[in-house]
Copies of this chain bind each other. A is one copy, B any other.
Amino acid sequence: MVQTQKEIQPPSADAPPEIGAIAAALRSGDIRTCARLISRVERGEPGLVPLLQALYRVGGRSRIVGVTGSPGVGKSTLVSKLIGFWRKRGLRIAVLAVDPSSPFSGGAVLGDRLRMREHTCDEGVFIRSMASRGQLGGLAKAAGDALTVLDAMRWDVILIETVGVGQNETDIMRHASVVVLLQTPMGGDDVQAAKAGITEIGDIFVVNKSEHPEADRTVSQLEEMITLGLCLHPETTWRPPVVKTRAINGEGVAELADHIDDCFAHLAGQPEAARRQLRERAKHRVGELLHYMLEQRLRSDSGQLLEDSIDAVMKRDSDPYALAAELLARMD
């Protein structure tokens, strides 16, 4: 299914007809083609690889911004206001909202989509929710594929919205050049920000629901963490600002948008550091794809051996280490 590098070309007269047609439709901004392709990506269609390769090779021009934070902090509302702000300036915006994976139901709740309804009739806005289909590693892989599709469309801004803490979410946030980390002033005791574990990936901190009496205290705590160097980004010497917002009525959104611009300007002023970041990101993406391919292969080749041998593991006559080693040996 995966073709070698030489066989793949950016869309051209020689490319398979599907690739050329889809790439052309995407470049003309066709939202239906985009939506349909992301659905195919979500289903994990293996035949899509040549198309995704071609799309990757024409991408790299959109600004990718991540917005993350725990459930209930107001991410979707803030994203909706950011869209409104940027639309007034004529920017075209795509949103990829990645719901936490539910390994048992695979279901996504449509709340986010409902909250963004005001933008659904605007051709300059594309909003898409993704949910895990329960595949280990599948969500991050599919999200990366979806970003490849969006990136090839050259949206001015691609917003990735993910829910808070977790390896999957931080993995997805690695695709973003600038990450906005949202919290509310009601986050419990002082160590919560640090405990959330994703503080280090935030380029801009937002304290939403700024009308709350604890808002200023939360801002101070974050400023203190930054001063202590806990959130500094030494590779780019960027000092994360802390912004108060009240997403529900749009307060602070213009300021946040300015900080996002500043962060991109800062990156542009440090080409070597920016290059290192891109390099790490590309390596991460390769690793993610390799992981996925290995898993697909395992499923097809070793499923029966796993079924046949698992009873011995359960009876403790064997063990998971022995069986994993056997499966690995079988793959060679």
Contacts and interface: CB of A to CB of B under 8 A. Distances in A.
Interface of A: 2-5, 8, 49, 52-53, 56-60, 70-73, 99-105, 109, 111, 132, 136, 139, 144, 163-171, 174, 186-189, 191-192, 194-201, 275, 278-279, 282-283, 285-291, 293-295, 297-298, 306, 310-311, 313-314, 316-328, 332
12 contacts: A4-B322, A57-B319, A70-B70, A71-B187, A72-B192, A105-B200, A109-B191, A164-B165, A282-B314, A286-B306, A286-B327, A290-B327
Nearest to A99: B197
Nearest to A209: B188
A189 to B, nearest CB: 7
- Which 6 pairs from chain A and chain B are nearest by CB? A166-B166, A72-B188, A100-B197, A104-B200, A2-B325, A289-B324
A106 B38 CA distance: 33
A275 to B, nearest CB: 8
B105 A325 contact: no
Given A5-B322, A198-B102, A324-B289, A164 B164 contact: yes
Copy number in the complex reads: 2
Q: Which of A2, A310, A319 has the most CB of B within 10 A?
A: A319
A297 to B, nearest CB: 8
A187 B72 contact: yes
Given A279-B314, A332-B332, A295 B291 contact: yes
Given A104-B200, A283-B306, A290-B327, A163 B320 contact: no
A319 B53 contact: yes
Contact of A58 (B60, B101, B316, B320): B316
Nearest to A302: B290
Chain B CB within 10 Å — which of A101, A111, A165 has the most? A165
B283 A322 contact: no
Contacts of A199: 102
Nearest to A297: B328
A99 B293 contact: no
A32 B96 CA distance: 48
B71 A192 contact: yes
A300 B82 CA distance: 44
Nearest to A173: B103
Contacts of A109: 191, 194-195
B170 A325 contact: no
